[in-house]
Structure 1
Amino acid sequence: MNNRQKDILHMLLTETRPHLVIRDIALHFDCSEKTIRNDLDEIDRYLTQVSNARLVRKPGFGVTLDIAASDKAEVAAQLLRSVKNKEQETEEERLIAVAYQLLMETKPVTIQELADKHYTSKTVIKKDLDTLREWLDKRDLTVVSKQKVGVLIEGKERDRRAALSKLSQLTGEAGQAFIKDRFAAHELDIVTRELKQLELDAQLAFTDEAFDNLLIHTLLMIRRTKLKQPITFSEQEKTFVRKKQEFRWTGAFIRKLERLFAVHFPEDEAAYLTAHILGGKIRSQARIETAEPGAKPHAAETAEARGLAETLVRKMSALTWVDFGKDEVLMEGLRIHLYSTLNRLSYGLTVSNPMLQDIKKMYPYMFDMVIYATRELSAGYPFAIPEEEAAYLTLHFQAAMERLSQPAEDRKRIVTVCHMGVGMSQILRTKLERKFPELDVLDSVRKADLPGYLAHHSVDFIISTIPLEQVNPPSITVSPLLEAGEMQKIADFIGKLDQESGHAEHAGSILGLYAQPSLVFPRLSIGHRFELIELLANQLADQGFVERDYAHQALLRERLSSTTIGGGIAIPHGDPKLIRTSRIAVATLQEPLEWQEEKVSLVFMLALVPQEQEMMKKLFQRLSLLSEQPSTVERLVRAKTPEELLGSL
C-alpha cells in the first residue's frame, strides 16, 4: 500500500463513527472519489492477505471495517511497523508538527485526534504538550486544555506568528523546512521570485538568513490572512512605518501577492511586513548609508546605529584592553548589524540565533565582555539587548581580535561556500577561526556568486559545504558543522599539523596558576546553581580576592544569560571592576546540577582582571577545549580532594 492507503486504513481502524463517507475521505486527502474507491480496493486486497477482516461498502451510508478485536490489534500493529519502517517520524518531527497544527488551528483539537494522526498514544501527546506549554509561555502564548472540547493556543496573532516563524528553536534547522513543506511548490516559487524582485527594485541585499525569514513571514501572512486571522499593528506604529521608503516598496510587493494569491491584505499586514524588512540583515553598508531625499528619520536611524557602534567599541576596548577602534572592518560590520538590530528591537520583533550555544562555548570570554557592554548600553533604550543579539556581536569582536592580534600577511586568505544560509555559514566560519587562527576567512558566499567574487579577490583556497567543479584556487569539501575528523582533513589539506593538542598542553597549567586548594571544593551536594554561585563567590571574597558585592553581581550576570559552555561545565563570574587579584574557585558536584540549558558537573567561578588579556585568552581556550574532553571532565569530577583535582587540570 502507498502512504495514502495506509492513512485511510488507519482512519478505518480508529474511527468511532459507524461509517466513513467516501466523499469526506476524498476531501480529506484532496483527491477524487474514484481515487479513494481504487484505494479501498487495494486495502481490501491487503486485508485478505493478513487477516480475516473485510471492507463493507453500503450505498448511501459509506464504508466500514468488519474486523474482530484480535485481528484489529494485529492489523494495527503491522500497520504501525510498516509506517515506522517506511518513514519513522522522530520525536522532534512529531513535536514540531503538533506545534504547527495547534498554532495554525482556529478551533480546539482533541488529544485523541493528535495521537491518531501521529500513530502514538495520548500519553506521548500530553508530554509533547508539556514541552510546548513551557516553550510557548516564554512567547506570551498559552496552551489551554478544555475537557471534552480539546486543546487550543490562546494569545495575540503577532505572538502566534512569531512562534510559527521560530519553530526551528524547537527542533533546530528543521523548523523552517517544515513550514515550507506546508506550502505548494508554486507558492514557494512565487513568493521567492517576488521577494527577489523586491530586493532588485529597492536595491537591497539581504543576507541568506534574512531572506529566508522574510520568505517564512510572507508565507505565514498569506496563510493566516486566508484563515481570517489578521495581525494588528498600533496606530502609532503604523504612523511611524508609513514614513519609510520601505513601506512603499512593501505596498507594491503586497499588491502583487494579492493578485497572485487572490487575497486582500489590510494595511496592518503591510506595516508588519515592513517592520520585518527594516529588521532584516543586509549585506552591504551602501544601502543603509543612502538616505532618500527628505528621508530624515532614515538618516537619523543611520546616525543612531553609527553612534551605538562607536559607543560599543569604546566600552569593549575598556573592558578587554584591546583597541578595537583601530579596526575599520569591525566598525563597518557593527554599523550594518546594529542598524537592523535597532529596527528589530524597536518593533518588538524576535530574533533567533541558532549559533548561540556554539558561540558561548567557543568564545566565552568575548561573549561575556559583550554581555557587560550591552547591559550598560541598554540603559539608554526602552528595550534590553537579548543574548541572541549579543552572540552575533561577539562574532564581530572575536574576528576583530584575531585580525588585530596576528599580522594579515602571515595568514592564509580563504573564502567559504555554505549552502545552508548565513546561520550555518557563521558556525562554519567561527569554528574555522577558532581551530585555525592562521586563516583569514574573507567572506562566505553563495555558490552562484563565487565566480564573481574570485574575479575581484585574491584567495589561497576555498572551504565549501558542497562539491565545487572546475574552480581555481583549490577547494576542500566539509560538512557545515565541521565534525572533529574534518579538522584533521583541513590541516592535512593546507599542509600543517593540527595544533590543537599543542595548544591544550600549553594552556593546561594555566588553570593551576589561578586556582589553589583553599578555593577547590570537590563532590559538593547543592540544590540550585544560584546557591553554588553565591558560595564560591563568597569564598573568593572571604580570602580577599574580590569585593564583597562580587557574589551579587555574579548572580545578576547569570540571570542575563546562562554561563554554561557545554560538556557539563559552567563558568559563572561577576563584574571585573570588583576583582582585586585574579583567581578561580572550582567545584565539582556529586550529582549533575540543572543549569538552565543543560546539566553541569564542573564549575569554575572566574575572577580575572582584564589587564591580563593574553593569559585570559589562553585560559578560555583551555576551558573551551576541556568542554570537548568528556574523559578529562569525568576524571576531575571523580577527584575526592582539592590536591587530586588540581593535579588533574
Structure 2
Amino acid sequence: MLKAIMNTRQKDILYTLITEPRPHFVVRDIALKLNCSEKTIRSDFEEIDRYLNESSHARLIRKPGLGVTLEIEESEKAKILDELYWSADRREQDNDDHRIALIAYQLLMSTKPLTIQELAAKYYVNKAVIKKELDTLRQWLEKRGLDIVFRQKVGITIAGRERDRRAALSKLSQLTGHSGTHFIKEQFASHEVEIVTRELRQLEKDAQLIFTDEAFDNLLVHTLLMVRRTKLKQLISFSDQEKTFIRERSEFTWTSAFVRKLEPLFSVRFSEDEVSYLTAHILGGKIRSQSKSETNGEVDHPARNKEQIHNLVESLVKKMSALTWVEFAEDATLMEGLHIHLYSTINRLSYGLAVYNPMLQDIKKMYPYMFDMVIYAIKEISSDYPFTIPEEEAAYLTLHFQAAIERLNKQAERVKHVITVCHMGVGMSQILRSKLERKFQGLHVADSVRKVDLAGYLNRHPVDFIVSTIPLENIAVPYILVSPLLETSEVKKLNDFIERLDDDAHHPEAVESTLHMYARPSLVFPKLEISHRFELIELLANELYEQGFALQDYAHQALLRERISSTAIGGGIAIPHGEPKLIKQSQIAIATLKEPLDWEQEKVSVVFMLALQATEQENMKKLFQRLSLLSEQPSTIERLIRADRPEQLLDIL
C-alpha cells in the first residue's frame, strides 16, 4: 500500500511525472498547476523521494537549468499508478475531479430532479463548491449535446437525448483525469460486470470475430448501461429507417441472441430499439480479426456502405495528396487500412455514437503537421457527407497517413530529388546532370533550371537540394556551389554535403532557421495580458492583416479552425492558424503570456500564429517539427516566457 507520508498533492505530482510524456518538468509549472509555491513543490520532491526509495527502483533526477525528471522502468509504472489510484487515502479524499464525475453520474442516471442541498450533503461540501463544480460539468456536457437545467424550488436535471446521455455516461472517466472505462464500471456490481463479460466472449466465439480491447471494453460498458437504463424505463429510440437498415445486417442476429441471453440473467426485457442500438455499437466496434473476411482480405460491407466508404477514402486520399504533395494513392496498405478503419467509423458516426480516442493529445503533439493536414482535408470534404468527422477520429486517421509516409520514405530511402542551376547552356547542364547521376546513385536530377526561373520552380516543385554553378541568393532550399565539370575534388565535397543534410534532418537545430525566416520583431508580443484564447488568436491574425501579410478574413478562418480542434500541442505551446489561401506572404506572429491561458484541456504560455502559404509545404513541415521539439524543452519555454523584448525572444529561438 501507499506510504502514509504521501499526501494528496504529492500523489498528484508523482502521477503527473509518470503519465505525462515530458523529458523534464519545470518546478514553476507544477507549482502553477497545483496552486502552491515552488518551495512547497521542492519539499514535496523530498517526500516523493522517500516513498520511491521504500517501494521501487524509480528515482527523481534534478537537472539544474532543465528541471526534474523521473527515471522509471515501464514495468514499475503500472504498479505505482495502481497504488496511487487505489490507495485508501485517495478513496477517502474524493478529490474534486472524482466528485465531479460522481455528481455527473448521479445527475445523468437520476429520473427525478436533485437539489444543490442534496448534493452538498452527500459529498460533505458547501453549496458554493457544488455550484462551481456544476459550472465545470456544464461545459463538459454541452460538448456532448446535453445541458444542466436549474428549476427554482424543483431542482437540477440533465436535458438531452437518451443516446447522448448514455454516450456521456460511458466517458465519465474523462472527468477524473483518466482514460478508459474504469470509473463507470465501478458503478456496477462485480457480478454484473462478470455476466456481461462472459456473454460478450461467447458472442465473439459464436460470430467468429475478435474485438480490439478498446472495442470490447466499450461494448461491455454500453451493455451495462443498457441494462440499468432499461430498468429505470429510460429507453433509446431509433427511427424506423435506422431499424430497417440494421435488421438487414448479420450483426443484428448475433446481437439479438446475445441480448435474449441477458434478459433472464438481469430480469429485464429489451425493446427492438435497444437491440438496434447495441447492434450499432457492434457495427462501430473495431475488430482485430474476423474469420470469414481473413480469406480474401476484404471487409464484408453491404453495397450501400461499400460505395460510401469507397467514395470517402477516395476523397480523403485525393485531398491529403493535394495538401502534402505525397501520392498516397500509391500505397496499397494505406488504402486497405482506410477502408477497414472507416467501415466502423461510418457506422459510429451515422448512428450518432461517440468516438473517443485516448491518444488524441499524444498524436496531436507527436504528429502536429499530419494531424493538421487531416483536419483541413476532412473540413474540405465534410459537406459531401451527412456526418461530421470529429478530432478524435482525425487523430486515428493521422496514424494511418503517418505510417504511409514512413513506408514511402523507406521505399525512397537514399534517393534525393535535386535540380541543377547551370549558367553555361543546355549542353553543359546535361554533362553536369550525367556526372551527378553516375557518381551518386542516390540522386535523381529532376531538372535543370535557369537562375531567373528558380523561385517560380521551387514554388511548384519540392526538391531536396540544388547543385549550382553560380551563387544563389534568398532561397530556403539548401544548395551547393560546384564547377560545371564537377571536378574530382568536388565529388567528395558533394558527398560531405549530402551526409550533413542527412544528419541535420534529425537534428533539432536543422529547422531553427525556418523560424527566423518568417519571424520579425514587429510581430512578436511578449508578456501579453489576455483572458481568452479566441481574443489572442484574433489579435495576432489582425496584426498579420494590418502589416500586409494576410487577408482580412484570416482572423475569422483561424477562429473557425480552432473551434474544429484545439491547436495546443503540449508543453505550454499553441500553434493557431487559418486558411493558407488567405496568406499574401508567409510569416509567423508570436506571443507570450503573463499568465497561462486555458486552451481547452491545456494551459498555454507561448503562441505561434502560423501564416504560411500552401506552396511552402516543406518549410511548414519543418516548422511543425521544430515547434513539436520545442514543446519538449521546458527550460527554453521558461526563457521565452521571461523575455521582455521581441528581439530578446527571437534570440532565444
Q: Which amino acid aligns with 1:237?
A: E
2:594 is matched with 590
Structure 1 residues 110 and 590, CA gap change in structure 2 (3 angstroms) = closer
Unaligned regions of 5+ residues in structure 1, if any? 1-81, 411-498
1:628 is matched with 632
Q: Do 1:282 and 1:336's aligned partners in 2 also have CA atoms closer than 8 Å? A: no
Residue of 556, 572, 593 corresponding to 2:576: 572
Q: Do 1:320 and 1:611's aligned partners in 2 also have CA atoms closer than 8 Å? A: no
1:39 is matched with none
Q: Compute the displacement of 1:581 (Å).
A: 4.0
2:80 is matched with none
Q: Compute the displacement of 1:217 (Å).
A: 0.4
1:242 corresponds to 2:247: yes
1:384 corresponds to 2:388: yes
Q: Do 1:172 and 1:354's aligned partners in 2 also have CA atoms closer than 8 Å? A: no
Q: Which amino acid aligns with 1:278?
A: L
1:269 corresponds to 2:274: yes
Q: Do 2:334 and 2:404's aligned partners in 1 also have CA atoms closer than 8 Å? A: yes
1:279 is matched with 284
Residue of 111, 126, 132 corresponding to 1:127: 132
Q: Compute the displacement of 1:632 (Å).
A: 1.5
1:302 corresponds to 2:272: no
Deviates most, 237-246 or 170-179: 170-179
Q: Which amino acid aligns with 1:261?
A: F
Q: Do 1:96 and 1:175's aligned partners in 2 also have CA atoms closer than 8 Å? A: no
Q: Deviations over 1:66-101 (max 9, x none)?
A: xxxxxxxxxxxxxxxx98587432222222122112
1:164 corresponds to 2:169: yes
**Helix, strand or coil for the counterpart of 2:507?**
helix
Deviates most, 201-210 or 540-549: 540-549
Q: Deviations over 1:265-321 (max 9, x none)?
A: 111100111111111122248767999xxx997133123213311221111011011
Measure the CA separation in 2 of the matches of 1:633 and 1:312. 36
Q: Do 1:108 and 1:151's aligned partners in 2 also have CA atoms closer than 8 Å? A: yes
Q: Deviations over 1:501-556 (max 9, x none)?
A: 97333333431122122332333344543343334334434555444443332222
Q: Do 1:169 and 1:352's aligned partners in 2 also have CA atoms closer than 8 Å? A: no
Q: Compute the displacement of 1:105 (Å).
A: 1.9
Q: Do 2:566 and 2:599's aligned partners in 1 also have CA atoms closer than 8 Å? A: yes
Residue of 348, 351, 376 corresponding to 2:352: 348
1:400 is matched with 404
Measure the CA separation in 1 of the matches of 2:176 and 2:125. 19
Residue of 323, 327, 339 corresponding to 2:327: 323
Q: Compute the displacement of 1:251 (Å).
A: 0.8
1:216 corresponds to 2:217: no
Measure the CA separation in 2 of the matches of 1:321 and 1:600. 32
Query: Root-mean-square deviation (CA), in Å?
Result: 3.0
Measure the CA separation in 2 of the matches of 1:362 and 1:85. 32
1:137 corresponds to 2:142: yes
**Helix, strand or coil for the counterpart of 1:520?**
strand
1:534 is matched with 538
Q: Which amino acid aligns with 2:407?
A: R
1:232 corresponds to 2:232: no
Percentage of identical aligned residues: 70
Q: Compute the displacement of 1:161 (Å).
A: 1.1
Structure 1 residues 137 and 290, CA gap change in structure 2 (3 angstroms) = farther
**Helix, strand or coil for the counterpart of 1:205?**
strand
**Helix, strand or coil for the counterpart of 2:560?**
helix
Measure the CA separation in 1 of the matches of 2:135 and 2:312. 41
Q: Do 1:289 and 1:302's aligned partners in 2 also have CA atoms closer than 8 Å? A: no
Residue of 197, 208, 217 corresponding to 1:192: 197
Q: Compute the displacement of 1:257 (Å).
A: 0.9
Count residues in correspondence. Answer: 477
Structure 1 residues 374 and 614, CA gap change in structure 2 (3 angstroms) = same
Measure the CA separation in 2 of the matches of 1:307 and 1:298. 14
Residue of 313, 319, 323 corresponding to 2:317: 313
Measure the CA separation in 1 of the matches of 2:644 and 2:340. 52
Structure 1 residues 99 and 309, CA gap change in structure 2 (3 angstroms) = same
TM-score normalized by structure 1? 0.68
Q: Compute the displacement of 1:218 (Å).
A: 0.4
**Helix, strand or coil for the counterpart of 2:607?**
strand
Unaligned regions of 5+ residues in structure 2, if any? 1-86, 415-502
2:498 is matched with none
2:341 is matched with 337
Q: Deviations over 1:311-364 (max 9, x none)?
A: 211110110112222222221221111111111111111212222222222222
Q: Which amino acid aligns with 1:372?
A: Y
2:473 is matched with none
Q: Compute the displacement of 1:206 (Å).
A: 1.8
Q: Compute the displacement of 1:407 (Å).
A: 4.8
2:373 is matched with 369
Measure the CA separation in 1 of the matches of 2:293 and 2:584. 44
Measure the CA separation in 1 of the matches of 2:141 and 2:274. 23
Mapping 1:440-459, distance limit 5 Å: none
Structure 1 residues 303 and 289, CA gap change in structure 2 (3 angstroms) = farther
TM-score normalized by structure 2? 0.67
Structure 1 residues 545 and 137, CA gap change in structure 2 (3 angstroms) = closer
Structure 1 residues 153 and 526, CA gap change in structure 2 (3 angstroms) = closer
Deviates most, 619-628 or 586-595: 586-595
Q: Which amino acid aligns with 1:171?
A: T
Q: Do 2:145 and 2:164's aligned partners in 1 also have CA atoms closer than 8 Å? A: yes
Measure the CA separation in 2 of the matches of 1:648 and 1:534. 25
**Helix, strand or coil for the counterpart of 1:604?**
strand
2:261 is matched with 256
1:503 corresponds to 2:507: yes
Mapping 1:383-532, distance limit 5 Å: 383-407=387-411, 503-532=507-536
Q: Which amino acid aligns with 2:268?
A: V
Q: Do 1:524 and 1:588's aligned partners in 2 also have CA atoms closer than 8 Å? A: yes
Residue of 152, 170, 178 corresponding to 1:173: 178
Structure 1 residues 402 and 263, CA gap change in structure 2 (3 angstroms) = same
Residue of 207, 214, 220 corresponding to 2:212: 207
**Helix, strand or coil for the counterpart of 1:349?**
coil
Structure 1 residues 287 and 636, CA gap change in structure 2 (3 angstroms) = farther
Measure the CA separation in 2 of the matches of 1:87 and 1:356. 31
Q: Do 1:108 and 1:149's aligned partners in 2 also have CA atoms closer than 8 Å? A: yes
**Helix, strand or coil for the counterpart of 2:315?**
helix
Measure the CA separation in 1 of the matches of 2:546 and 2:107. 53
Measure the CA separation in 1 of the matches of 2:274 and 2:292. 24
Structure 1 residues 626 and 251, CA gap change in structure 2 (3 angstroms) = same
Measure the CA separation in 2 of the matches of 1:247 and 1:590. 57
Structure 1 residues 175 and 370, CA gap change in structure 2 (3 angstroms) = closer
Q: Deviations over 1:24-79 (max 9, x none)?
A: xxxxxxxxxxxxxxxxxxxxxxxxxxxxxxxxxxxxxxxxxxxxxxxxxxxxxxxx
Q: Do 1:545 and 1:582's aligned partners in 2 also have CA atoms closer than 8 Å? A: yes
Q: Which amino acid aligns with 1:402?
A: E
Measure the CA separation in 1 of the matches of 2:599 and 2:91. 38
Measure the CA separation in 1 of the matches of 2:277 and 2:523. 54
Q: Deviations over 1:410-443 (max 9, x none)?
A: 9xxxxxxxxxxxxxxxxxxxxxxxxxxxxxxxxx
Q: Which amino acid aligns with 2:124?
A: Y
Q: Which amino acid aligns with 1:540?
A: L
Q: Do 2:369 and 2:625's aligned partners in 1 also have CA atoms closer than 8 Å? A: no
Structure 1 residues 119 and 548, CA gap change in structure 2 (3 angstroms) = closer
Measure the CA separation in 1 of the matches of 2:260 and 2:568. 48
